[in-house]
Amino acid sequence: MQFHVLTIFPEIFASPLAASLLKKAQEKGILSCTVHNLRDYATGRHRAVDDTPYGGGQGMVMKPEPVVAALEGVCQSLTTPWRIFLSPQGKMLTQAKVAELAHRETLVLLCGRYEGVDERIRLFVDEEISIGDYMLSGGELAALVVIDAVARLVPGVVGRHESVENESFSHGLLEYPHYTRPEEFRGLLVPDVLLSGNHAEIAMWRRQQSLLRTLQERPDLLAKAEVTEEEKRWLAQFKTENSSQ
């Protein structure tokens, strides 16, 4: 899988791409990430990538010429590029969208900066993605979120061991609580069931903890989660028994 990033701040990408999972995947050749500096596509004496807004107002707007020149220049040499513009106006990123993107061969990620980009740039990308309803300074951190989330689903990037965790997330419930040594930490004990060696009981406890946590922290997830009729009855009973709390 290939990622190409278009940005005026290529240095933002250096550390995240040079550590941990993404680093290993690139070393293995499963993944490649190329960061392109939008300023290299700017012309004129000042190589400006921004300009003042028509109609007046605060701040600067990203110019269309360098952005479209970069999109065309980079995509020219790619077979099936899928162009994504990271923008607060985009559709919110979900795990389902991440899974869809992971099937593509080449993602081209355009990062905006300044107050916004010239509206005409939108006509030169395939889709617009936001990572959530909060304000970032630009598209760079959002692009890194897309790269990280998508890369995890590319075969070979995440080990077999951890990919199970992946699966449990897509079942739509929150994770059960995890513990490691010591058995007692500042008076806080590891639940007995986890020390029992009874694997059936442990599996049942973990499933119940997942269900309860989801009910308590993210009840919205339960509607879409894979929950059996028996589990639904169990949760409903738990709700009535604890409705006073």
Whether 179 and 194 have beta carbons less than 8 Å apart is answered as yes
* Closer Cβ to ligand 9D3, 141 or 193, answer by number: 141
Nearest Cα neighbor of 63 from 130, 125, 113, 137 is: 113
**Contact with ligand 9D3 (CB under 6 A) among 55, 77, 79, 135:** 135
| Assigned token pair, 13 | 């990408």
**Contact with ligand 9D3 (CB under 6 A) among 1, 125, 139, 151:** 139
Of the listed pieces 138-146, 165-173, 207-215, 227-235, which binds ligand 9D3 according to CB under 6 A?
138-146
Kindly state whether residue 115 participates in binding ligand 9D3, applying the rule CB under 6 A: yes
**Contact with ligand 9D3 (CB under 6 A) among 132, 159, 177, 191:** 132
Kindly state whether residue 117 participates in binding ligand 9D3, applying the rule CB under 6 A: no
How far is it, in rounded angstroms, from Cα 85 to Cα 60? 18
**Contact with ligand 9D3 (CB under 6 A) among 84, 107, 142, 157:** 142
Whether 162 and 153 have beta carbons less than 8 Å apart is answered as no
Per-position x/- string for 57-96, each x denoting binding to ligand 9D3 as judged by CB under 6 A, each - no binding: -----------------------------xxx--------
Give the sheet arrangement for strand 106-111, strand by strand.
Answer: 32-37, 2-7, 106-111, 81-92, 127-130
Q: What is the DSSP letter of 192?
A: G
Query: Residue 74: helix, strand or coil by DSSP?
Result: helix
Of the listed pieces 20-28, 60-68, 126-134, 211-219, which binds ligand 9D3 according to CB under 6 A?
126-134
* Residue 185: partners with Cβ closer than 8 Å, 6 or more residues away: none
Kindly state whether residue 37 participates in binding ligand 9D3, applying the rule CB under 6 A: no
CA distances 77 to 26, 74, 81, 110, Å, are 20, 6, 9, 17
* Closer Cβ to ligand 9D3, 84 or 158, answer by number: 84
Which residue ranges make up the site for ligand 9D3 (CB under 6 A)? 86-88, 112, 115-116, 130-132, 134-139, 142
